[in-house]
Structure 1
Amino acid sequence: MTGAVATVVLASMMLAGCGSAGNSKPSSGGASSAGGAGSQPAAGTAAKPEDKKPSLTFRLADTHPPDYPTVMGDKKFAELVSQKTNGRIKIDVYPSSQLGEEKAVVEQVQLGAIEFTRVSSGAVADFNKPMGVFSLPYIFDSEEHEWKFLNSADGNKLLDGMSGSKLIGLAYYDSGARHFYSRKPVKSVADIKGQKIRVIQNKINIDLVESLGASATPMPYGDVFSALQTGVIDAAENNWPSFDTSNHYSVAKNMILDGHQRVPELLMMSKAAFDKLSDEDKKIVKQAALDSVQYQRDEWKKFEKKSEEKIRAAGVTITEVKDVKPWQDAVKPAIDKYRAEFKDVLEAIDKARK
């Protein structure tokens, strides 16, 4: 671990002990309505469960803004945990990368300096190799196919396997399909060739982009806007809501709906923090996470539609892909390179297709 990260982790541990994050303020809503440490019942009034000071206060980090669907899911999860524990466990949600970008946050979660986070499974691949399977292109035919696998025993097996990486996988959240968008016109797979494209910081995404004849540029999500604006990169790739809320559409005026990936989000907890919970509280946390999924998925669908309408209205050139086979053929080397490594999971994904 670098000296810079170590310093951040140490500071986070100190802040966690104080039950706050310095000047950073958690997002309102969700668990924050569950009676904070300073709540006091009115004189002569019996204390209600929600008026009690929580015995445990945790933090949940998210990259996205407060109204983003993953953050809405975080808040619902925090609210459910508070309800199910009568306010004993309080989870403060910190959106907008207040606690750091995804890779740095995952490192802190492994150490127990931050207790919870919501991150892309693509960002977890460097910490837990099996999660890299979701970065492979075109392994899912549709949203239905994806969720049939995620909700299966094989999907749950991937979550359970994260404990060996000092992480507890609690639930999958929706993140839709990912598409390329660029400062330059993109009408076909051939137009991707030669472009400098930002990718999530994992090897599979680098191989995917390079299989298209482009130059992969790994960088944190928060750096992409300025990189697009200044021409450090030509293009990036993401889903409709992220293209919208990041304001990338204001500088990358061309989007092609190739749907190369469906990379689920992960709601996860530090194993160090999880192991300190009672068996009852472990069950509550896990069930609350699962119970928050449908709410998050519903919020995703609404937000995705709104983002698409906004982006189209802004004059971004949107190109539909009527035949995905040229794209699939182009990225086949990236899939073949990892086929043996992910053989069992790919077979399970194929089984879900049937």
Structure 2
Amino acid sequence: MLLIGGTILAAGAGAAVAADCEINLRSADTHPAGYPTVEAVRWMGDQVKERSQGRICLEVFPASVLGEEKDTIEQTQFGVIDMVRASFGPFNNLVPETQIVSLPYIFRSPQHMYKVMDGAVGEQIAEGFAQHDLIVLGYYDGGARSFYNGQKPIKSIDDLKGMKFRVMQSDVFVDMMAAFGANATPMPYGEVYSAIQTGVIDGAENNPASYDTSGHFEVAKYYTLDEHLIMPEVLAISKVTWEKLAPEDQALLKTAGKESVGVMRDLWAKKIAESEQAVEKAGSEIIRGIDKTPFIAAMEPVYAKYVTTPEAKTMVDTIRSTE
């Protein structure tokens, strides 16, 4: 039996199944079981096992069982973990190209993001990941982040002025909020509920699924679909693991990984629809169809700060010209 990952599987059902395979791969995810990313990689594992006639097994470890995102990324780079599903945020300082596709309003819609990431721009970013020992198998959907708060409906950019919003600990996010005329308050995700409840902040921003599952809708009933950030995520395999595989097995994983992208995106669309319906049923007001033009125009100083090299400017132009 060949164990690709650096750590032997713990005893139990997973180990028993793995014992039947020649190659055992472990994939890490911070999301819980049932989440679209987790289920898409599990689907991939089923396909890989079937197409390899039981030679290759892929087990997904959800809910940060193998560590938090930053830790699992590093372990995958070293080959301790074989695969990881991760957001682009932790890579912004490592793979410069990921910072460009993390800019506010760089994508017009989720469909625009899919077309960009599945094309030449995605291939260019994959080359950046490969330089850091990660082989991209596909790009998932991290969702469209929008504002929610407990004070008032946000229908225009003027409604944001002076409000306090929690953001991730990211310079881009802080600068984005300043450009909107709002105040950024970086804080851990787990503190957001109580911070809104006690008035430390007015609200936060995230995708509809997170707004729902976190329970934030209970203390912030106004949710505005401004979609200021449409985030791709990456599914990657360790270069250490990759180079141990035969070419035909590499091809099998590449194909199954690419196919899992469509599965994930379909599951995500269903999850978003379910979450929006659930929060509205619970009393939230979802503000749709706002004019995004002033929001987009306000991002000019953010782009001026972060899009400074000829390469970055070319990528921005390529993304914007993609139809």
TM-score range, shorter chain: 0.7 to 0.9
Distance in 2, matches of 1:201 and 1:111, equals 26
Give yes or no for the alignment of 1:117 onto 2:84.
yes
Equivalent residue for 2:160, pick from 164, 178, 192? 192
Aligned to 1:57: 24
Task: Say which structure, 1 or 2, has more relative contact order (CA 8 Å, 6+ apart).
Answer: 2
Give yes or no for the alignment of 1:38 onto 2:16.
yes
Moved more, 117-126 or 307-316: 117-126
Aligned to 1:272: 240
Shift of residue 307, structure 1, vs aligned partner: 0.8
Equivalent residue for 1:308, pick from 259, 268, 276? 276
For residue 338 of structure 1, what is the amino acid of its counterpart?
Answer: Y
Distance in 2, matches of 1:73 and 1:345, equals 29
Distance in 2, matches of 1:252 and 1:246, equals 11
Deviation by residue 1:6-62 (Cα, 9 ceiling, x = unmatched): xxxxxxxxx952213x9xx9xxxxxx8xxx5425xxxxxxxxxxx962223222122
Distance 1:139 1:223, change over 3 A: same
Equivalent residue for 2:177, pick from 202, 206, 209? 209
Distance in 1, matches of 2:86 and 2:179, equals 26
Shift of residue 162, structure 1, vs aligned partner: 0.7
Which residues in structure 2 correspond to 1:232-311 (within 5 Å)? 232-311=200-279
Equivalent residue for 1:152, pick from 119, 127, 139? 119
How many equivalent residue pairs? 316
Question: Sequence identity of aligned pairs in percent?
Answer: 40
TM-score w.r.t. length of structure 1 = 0.80
SS at match of 2:80: coil
Aligned to 2:322: 352
SS at match of 2:136: strand
SS at match of 2:228: strand
Distance 1:118 1:74, change over 3 A: same
Shift of residue 193, structure 1, vs aligned partner: 3.2
For residue 343 of structure 1, what is the amino acid of its counterpart?
Answer: K
Deviation by residue 1:70-106 (Cα, 9 ceiling, x = unmatched): 1121211222222222222222212222223322322
Distance in 2, matches of 1:89 and 1:323, equals 50
For residue 236 of structure 2, what is the amino acid of its counterpart?
Answer: M
Which residues in structure 2 correspond to 1:17-36 (within 5 Å)? 17-20=7-10
Unaligned runs of 5+ in 2: none
Instruction: Check whether the contact 1:106–1:124 (CA below 8 A) recurs between aligned residues.
Output: no
Unaligned runs of 5+ in 1: 1-14, 26-31, 40-50
Instruction: Check whether the contact 2:140–2:265 (CA below 8 A) recurs between aligned residues.
Output: yes
Distance 1:107 1:220, change over 3 A: farther
The two structures, once aligned, show a CA RMSD in angstroms of 2.5
Shift of residue 260, structure 1, vs aligned partner: 0.7
For residue 16 of structure 2, what is the amino acid of its counterpart?
Answer: G
Distance in 2, matches of 1:122 and 1:130, equals 11
Distance in 2, matches of 1:115 and 1:218, equals 32
Aligned to 2:48: 81
Shift of residue 301, structure 1, vs aligned partner: 1.5
Equivalent residue for 2:134, pick from 167, 174, 180? 167
TM-score w.r.t. length of structure 2 = 0.87
Equivalent residue for 1:334, pick from 302, 305, 317? 302
